[in-house]
Chains A and B, each alone.
Chain A
Amino acid sequence: MSSGPLLEIRDLKKWYPARTTGFVEGLFHEQKYLRAVDGVSIDIREGEILGLAGQSGCGKSTFGEMLAMLTKPTEGDIVYDGQDVTTFSKEEMKQYKRKCQIIFQDPYESLNPRFSVGRIVREPLVIHGIGDKEERDERVEKALSDAGLKPPESFVHQLPSELSGGQRQRVSIARALVLEPDFLIADEPVSMLDVSISTGILNLFRTLQEERNLTIVYISHDLGTIDYLTDRTAIMYLGNIVELGPTSKVVDESAHPYTDLLLSAMPNPYLTVEREDVAMGDVPDAIDLPSGCRFRPDCAYATEKCSRSEPPLRNIDAEQLTACFYPINGKDYPEE
């Protein structure tokens, strides 16, 4: 299913200028930055579903927006098909955006309430000047039916307000599919849907991966759905990836203490073993970062070494990477 990288992301950064409290302070202090994404490198493989997990403010959504080039990176490269996307001309960017589609969390706000379903799904074809009327109709119907809205002709004339939340999210997916993209970024696509509905959307992503070899970046705070859906998982903390590997390994044999903490905070009715009581709160803000490892202040295993230097994301076995000097679960972190 998966082969070489579809996208190579190198040292990607998004820094936002942080507001200082007053004019005088602004004069005498250097400009501070909120490091939403702070040097992320990862290969996204063709045909894989990659999960991106972390708490609010960890930078996962900003990262997704940069992949779709909806947010311009401060620094770093996104290499697609041998070319750096961040240096694309307007015309090249239009072509790139055809290949890369994004789906948002809220199906109630991401669809124009005055457009019929048919028009919503047709619009990308119009923007990209693809096909004549007949071909467009055909592609719209195929996209609707691939997104599970069957029969498509019963949906084309409906307005979003006439659809349920799950059906609306399927319309967003159809709109993304109509351009036959290479990859899809789905940012919390099911977090606003009821359980009985959201499973259908997750299963649809799987079908799309199997049938179209579609690459999907699935962003969610919910490790339960990540575990169910994805092939590989990246755990983000304060703008960095702290762990990356096959989902089964990240979940069952997590190496980074933060991953462990995140997993233990998930309510789980079917857990058979008693959980340790963990304290876990807000992620600190990404402006005044601690020295060394960013997770150090909240880490139960931190030593003096962790405050001296920041552990890079390195392989602990063939598939699993972690950014921790002292990985848990008997793993060894290579010394410099």
Chain B
Amino acid sequence: MTLLELTDVSISYSVDATELHAVDNVSFDAEEGEIIGIVGESGCGKTTLAKSILQLLPPNGRVDQGEIMWKGEDLVQLSRKDLNKSIRWKEISWIAQSAMNALDPVYTIGAQLRETLKIHSYDEKPIDEQVDYLLKRVGIDPGRKRNYPHELSGGQRQRVVIAMALALDPPMIIADEPTTGLDVGIQKEILDLITEIQTNRGMTMLLITHDINVVAEIADRVLVMYAGQLIEQGTKQEIFDDPSHPYTIGLQNAFPRLGQRSRTLVTIPGAPPNLVDPPSGCRFKTRCPFSTDECSIDPPLETTSNGHVAKCHYTEKKDEFQEMGQIPGTWVDRR
């Protein structure tokens, strides 16, 4: 069953009397029980897109067009009050990037969990019992509920944030860079915890990260964003074994892989375009070694195989691109 359905969503920010077009015409679905990874580099619009689902955009940001349908209801049109009452935490909860900032430093973690449960008039079980259960669920000794956030380690704080996200047992969780800034060991722990919870509860997850390795670790389906647009979408295997967009191919060859140290990594020349005045046509064309005159026409999202799509005019040449993309000399600055 499709839980979440985004259609042609565009989002912009007003910055100093100009409009920054952070997200441009993005559509995707989230099926019940799947983990979707959204990857892309800083400024590609991935966090903006995720925030728009729960109306978490800052005051200068707005959804210009498109629908964000949750079980048949358009979240864009919903008032903030109704969203708070019926969607946030109950239906969709949010795991923020920085656990230290997501927790209030002057309340104990127990009090913060209790508050979440109370506000949403949770009354199935006594609240204290439920707090203990949630902490146990994420691997924290319930006795620690009297601790303040600063008394916990970074990994433990992130676990508390996950416990809060689970508090009302929502069908969907959005996690924005849940492991960025955490140590490798703790990162592994948190990813294992997320996978375990997802499997046990059949939860739908939207995982936003710049780290392609993290996505590879736990996602079922991957969306790749570049300069505000969705440029490739497919299963994890399709994206990693058969990337079709030159940007995805470039990224794949820019990542060091353990044990393959003789491979020279490629550098994608240039930088992503300025989104105040985005270029016409393909937004990757100035950095793409395979671009032609045709690329000044905006490419459609072409299907390369069932469900695997890429926003490129030349998806039929992907095998050739994949081969050439491994050679660092291919990626020379053409400007």
A residues bordering B, Cβ < 8 Å? Answer: 55-56, 164-166, 194-200, 202-203, 221-225, 227-229, 247-248, 251-252, 261-263, 265-270, 277-283
Contact = CB atoms under 8 A, between A and B. Distances in A.
B85 to A, nearest CB: 38
A207 B192 CA distance: 39
Interface stretch (B49-57, B97-105, B253-261): B253-261
8 contacts: A194-B210, A195-B251, A196-B41, A227-B258, A261-B185, A269-B240, A281-B155, A281-B185
A140 to B, nearest CB: 23
Contacts of A283: 183, 185
Shortest 10 CB-CB contacts between residues of A and residues of B: A269-B216, A228-B256, A267-B213, A196-B268, A200-B267, A194-B41, A280-B185, A224-B256, A267-B217, A265-B188
B316 interface: no
Given A199-B265, A269-B212, A282 B183 contact: yes
B186 A224 contact: no
Contact of B213 (A200, A229, A269): A269
Contact of A267 (B183, B185, B214, B261): B214
B213 A251 contact: no
B209 to A, nearest CB: 10
Contacts of A165: 42
B189 interface: yes
A197 B267 contact: yes
A75 B236 CA distance: 51
Given A266-B258, A283-B183, 20 more contacts: A55-B183, A164-B271, A166-B271, A195-B41, A196-B267, A198-B254, A203-B264, A224-B257, A225-B256, A227-B258, A227-B259, A251-B258, A251-B261, A261-B185, A262-B184, A267-B188, A268-B213, A270-B260, A281-B189, A282-B183
Given A251-B259, A280-B189, A282-B153, A268 B216 contact: yes
Contacts of A268: 213, 216, 257-258
Contacts of B183: 55-56, 221, 282-283
A280 B193 CA distance: 12
B265 A202 contact: yes
A160 B271 CA distance: 16
A61 to B, nearest CB: 13
A282 B185 contact: yes
A147 B236 CA distance: 36
B187 interface: yes
A266 B41 contact: no
Nearest to A225: B256
B103 to A, nearest CB: 18
A212 B199 CA distance: 53
Determine the main DSSP class of A at the interface with B: helix
B186 A267 contact: no
B266 interface: yes
Contact of A196 (B184, B216, B250, B259): B250
Nearest to A262: B184
- Please indicate which of the listed interface residues B214, B251, B271 has the most CB atoms of chain A within 10 Å of its own CB: B271
B3 interface: no
B185 A248 contact: no
A227 B186 CA distance: 21
A65 to B, nearest CB: 19
B261 A247 contact: yes
A56 B191 CA distance: 18
Contact of B184 (A55, A198, A227, A228): A55
Contacts, number: 111
Contacts of B236: 269
Nearest to A279: B189
B254 A265 contact: no
A56 B186 CA distance: 10
Given A228-B256, A265-B184, A203 B267 contact: yes
Contact of A265 (B187, B250, B255, B264): B187
B41 A221 contact: no
Contacts of A228: 256, 261, 265
B261 A281 contact: no
A55 B187 CA distance: 11
Contacts of B254: 195-196, 198-199
Given A200-B267, A267-B191, A267-B217, A195 B255 contact: yes
A56 B250 CA distance: 30
A270 B261 contact: no
B152 to A, nearest CB: 10
Contacts of B251: 195-196
Nearest to B185: A280
Given A199-B266, A203-B265, A270 B185 contact: no
Interface in B85-136: none
B249 to A, nearest CB: 11
Nearest to A53: B184
A221 B257 contact: no
A66 to B, nearest CB: 22
A199 B261 contact: no
A267 B216 contact: yes
Contacts of B153: 282
Interface string B181-213: 001111111011000000000000000001111
Contacts of B213: 224, 266-269
Given A227-B256, A251-B258, A263-B258, A278 B265 contact: no
Nearest to B179: A267
Contacts of A229: 256
Which of B258, B259, B260 is the most central at the interface, judged by chain A CB atoms within 10 Å of its CB? B258
Interface string B124-167: 00000000000000000000000000000101000000000000
A280 B264 CA distance: 31
A279 B188 CA distance: 8
A269 to B, nearest CB: 3
A277 B189 CA distance: 10
A198 B256 CA distance: 10
A247 B259 CA distance: 10
Contacts of B216: 267-269
A281 B182 CA distance: 11
